[in-house]
Amino acid sequence: MQRNAEKHMQLLKETHHIIENQNCSFLQDENVLKTLNERDLDTFRNLFRQFNKDTLVYSDVLIINQNGNVVYTSMGEGKMTSYLLEYNRAVCHKADAQNIYRSVYYETGQYADPMYIFPLEDGYITLFVSGSDWNTVLADRPFDGVITDGRSNILYSSKHAWISPHNKFEQKGSGLWTDSHQCYWVETYTSKQQDIRFYSMVYDQQENVLWIELLFFIITGGLWIWSARSMARSMAINQSEAVDELVGEIRRIGQVDRNHRIQSSRKDEFAEIAGQINEMLDAIEALHMKNTELIKLNNRFEYNQLTAQMNPHFMYNTLELIRNLVLSDPPKAESLILKFTKILRYSVDLNNRQVSFGNDLIYIQQYIDIQCTRFEERLFCEFSIEESALDYKVPKLFLQPVLENSIKYSFKVQMDLHIEVTAVVENDILIITVKDDGPGMSDAERKALDEDLRNHDHHTKSIGLRNLSRRLYLEYGKKSKLYVTDNQPNGLIVYIHIERKKDEHV
pLDDT at 216: 60
Is residue 113 helix, strand or coil? strand
The fraction of the chain above a pLDDT of 70, given in percent, is: 75
| Measured distance CA(318)–CA(323) in Å, rounded | 9
Task: Answer for the pair 59, 27: CB distance below 8 angstroms, yes or no.
Answer: no
In terms of C-beta density within 10 A (0-12 exposed, 13-18 middle, 19 or more buried), how is residue 273 classed?
middle
The span from the CA of 173 to the CA of 405, in Å, is 39
The more confidently predicted of residues 307 and 465 is: 465
Region 318-338: mean pLDDT is 86
Tens of pLDDT along 25-41? 999 999 999 999 888 99
Percent of the chain surpassing pLDDT 90? 26
- pLDDT tens for 447-491 read 888 888 877 655 555 667 777 887 787 788 788 899 999 988 889
Higher pLDDT pick, 207 / 350: 350
SS (H, E, C) 253-293: HHHCCCCCCCCCCCCCHHHHHHHHHHHHHHHHHHHHHHHHH
pLDDT attached to residue 3:
72
User: Per-residue pLDDT for 403 more than 50?
Assistant: yes
CB 463 within 8 A of CB 482: no
> Where is mean pLDDT largest: 132-146, 298-312, 331-345?
331-345
Mean pLDDT of all residues in 423-447:
92
Residue 45 has pLDDT above 80, yes or no: yes
Place 207 in a pLDDT band, splitting at 50, 70 and 90.
very low
> What contacts 302, CB < 8 A, 6 or more positions away?
350
Asked whether the predicted pLDDT for residue 157 surpasses 60, the reply is: yes
pLDDT tens string 131-149? 877 777 766 666 688 888 8
Rounded CA-CA distance 268/245 in Å is: 13
For residue 21, the one-letter residue type is N
Closest CA to 496 of 380, 360, 374, 363: 360
| Mean pLDDT, rounded, for 200-227 | 62
Could you tell me which of 392, 402, 400, 300 has the C-alpha nearest to residue 355? 392
User: Comparing 97 with 188, which gets the higher pLDDT?
Assistant: 188
**Average per-residue pLDDT for the chain:** 80
The C-alpha atoms of residue 1 and residue 156 are separated, in whole angstroms, by 22
Closest to 353 (Cα-Cα) out of 501, 148, 238, 254? 501
Say how many C-beta atoms besides its own lie within 10 A of residue 20's C-beta.
19
Residue 498 has pLDDT above 70, yes or no: yes
Asked if 325 and 332 count as a contact pair (C-beta separation under 8 A), the reply is: yes
Question: How far apart are the C-alpha atoms of 144 and 303, rounded to whole Å?
Answer: 13
Whether residue 212 is predicted with pLDDT greater than 60 in this model: the reply is no
pLDDT for 349 equals 74
Q: Which 3-state string (H, E, C) describes 214-227?
A: HHHHHHHHHHHHHH
Cβ(491)–Cβ(436) below 8 Å = yes
Question: Measured between alpha carbons, how far is residue 56 from residues 240, 419, 429 in Å?
Answer: 66, 25, 35
Q: Which range scores top for mean pLDDT: 46-60, 306-320, 449-463?
A: 46-60
Residues contacting residue 93 through CB under 8 Å, at least 6 positions apart: none
For residue 416, what is the DSSP state? -
Spatial distance between the Cα atoms of 188 and 201, rounded to a whole number of angstroms: 9
- Residue 317 CA from chain centroid, whole number: 21
Give the pLDDT confidence of 231-269 residue by residue, as tens digits: 645 554 555 666 667 666 676 766 666 677 777 666 666
Whole-structure pTM value = 0.44
Q: Which domains does the chain have, with CATH numbers?
A: 2-170 (3.30.450), 205-290 (no CATH), 352-499 (3.30.565.10)
| Phi-psi region at 355: left, alpha or beta (left = phi > 0; alpha = psi -120 to 50) | beta
Long-range contacts of 24-30 (CB under 8 A, 24+ apart): 24/100, 24/116, 26/51, 26/55, 26/127, 27/100, 27/116, 27/118, 27/125, 27/127, 28/100, 28/118
**pLDDT exceeds cutoff 90 at 340:** no
3-state secondary structure of 393: strand
11-35 average pLDDT score: 89
3-state secondary structure of 438: coil
* The pLDDT of residue 308: 43
